[in-house]
Copies of this chain bind each other. A is one copy, B any other.
Amino acid sequence: MDELRKNINSIISISDKDWAILKPMFVYKAIKKNEFFLLEGKHSNTVFYVIKGAFRVFTVVDGEERDWHFHFEGNWGSDYESFLTNRPSRFSIQAMEDAEILTLSRDSMHALYNTDAKFERIGRIIAEQLFLFARNRGMDFLLQNPEDRYLKLIKEYPNIFNRVPLYHIASYLGIKGPSLSRIRRRLSEK
């Protein structure tokens, strides 16, 4: 909970009084490795904060899984599109390690928005940050080649190869496993 408060404080400074309102709205949940937080086609009514563990956000295209996003400690997760639009989720979210999270429901979030402009601001800033992530992700596909995307990923998450299986990383980059191996070999020879 302290970590969460710090995280929210980095978005906007919150008083003890604000925290007393916020804190009881979060629900603790432990998730075992390989368990699903969300299944594609279901509704996503909560966002979650990762205390511990690693998650992948993926969808299935022509029988093949495509990884869209990874979440680690200190990240906020959700199918935010389903959360916002109330439409079925286009992604599944699965734990890749034993994990612990704090969840916050849409109803709680809307109640917060109506309590104080400060919470409305938190909602705005979370949406802005998600916008920046989604836009970068889209631009990377339009503007970068797989090698550039690979270099960006390991710069952002230097430990990713210790925590995420290779085939999920390849899928995230939009390439096949052998192409990823070739990129890694080529770069290690440089």
Contact = CB atoms under 8 A, between A and B. Distances in A.
Given A66-B143, A117-B117, A127-B127, A135 B81 contact: yes
A29 interface: no
Contacts of A59: 143
Contact of A120 (B84, B124, B131, B143): B124
A174 B59 CA distance: 22
Contacts of A19: none
A15 interface: no
A13 to B, nearest CB: 15
A137 interface: yes
Contacts of A138: 134-135, 137-141
